[in-house]
Amino acid sequence: MDIFAHRGVSIHYPENTIAAFQAAADLPIAGIELDVHVTADREVVVIHDETIDRTSNGSGYVKDFTLQQLRKFDFGSWFSPQYENERIPTLGEVLELFAGTHHRINIELKTDVFAYEGIESLVLKEVATHQMIERVIISSFNHESLQTVAQIAPYIDIAPLFAEVLVDFTTYTALIPAKALHVHVSTAFRKSIRLALDEGAIVRVYTVNNKQDARRLQQLGVQAIFTDDPVQMLEALR
Ligand code: G3P
Ligand code: CA
């Protein structure tokens, strides 16, 4: 079962920063997960929330700042003073960091609250520029966003995120050309996961920080987990 570092190694480093991704790049794991939003000057930046309030020393919506304005904020001190120099990364910078590695990059389009007109094209352009088409998975809770991705780039791997009920995979893929489902660990029940796997789905489960859960999912045949603590999961699955 593959391990993806969720927002980087976010248990030990401030989430979605270069420090968290560098730590993941140094591990023998399959990949990383990150979240993207779009700035006022249409740069794709890596951050989980719509606002910078929780993970920086600033306040306000990402969409209302230019990249240059966002760069002035400290995205590390909220986690620990030793990371006060962490700045918000662009998607391009994170892709650059992984240029020489084998890791897969799961880009989650955070289009649930704001649509960010054209975010799908902006992200795909960055992915193509960095020659990462075969290593990227694009996921979202907003499945219309994924349909847009599939229309522009039918060759790229997409994965709908589900927070609650897991739908029948075959019925679902008649609507959206996905090979994979990303399922919340609290709804990763044996029966529905087995059904999805038997129908040929790739199932990845988020966010798994408990060793027992990881072992159970591995036994079920789940292909990957997202975890904040990849080192602990490597130990659990050894
Ligand atoms: O991609 C899986 C997971 O990251 C989705 O939830 O809120 O952690 O972005 P969230
Ligand atoms: Ca995410």
Contact call for residues 64 and 145 (beta carbons, < 8 A): no
pLDDT averaged over every residue in the chain: 96
- What is the predicted pLDDT for the residue at 74? 98
Q: What percent of the chain has pLDDT over 90?
A: 91
Tell how far the Cα of 206 is from the centroid of ligand 1, in angstroms: 7
What is the domain extent for residue 70?
2-236
Q: Examine the residue annotation and report whether 6 is marked as an active-site residue of this protein.
A: yes
What does the pLDDT average to over 70-86?
A: 98
Q: Whose CA is nearest to atom 7 of ligand 1?
A: 48
**How many domains are contained in the chain?**
1
**Which of 3, 226, 228, 229 has the most ligand 1 atoms within 8 A of CB, as the residue to mutate?**
226
Q: Examine the residue annotation and report whether 37 is marked as an active-site residue of this protein.
A: no
What does the pLDDT average to over 176-197?
A: 92
Please count the residues of the chain: 238
CATH assignment at residue 110: 3.20.20.190
78 pLDDT above the threshold of 90: yes
Q: What is the pTM of this model?
A: 0.98
Q: Can you tell me which residue has the tokens 């072992």?
A: 215
Beta-bridge partner residues of 51: 61
pLDDT tens-place string over residues 129-175: 999 999 999 999 999 999 999 999 999 999 999 987 667 888 888 78
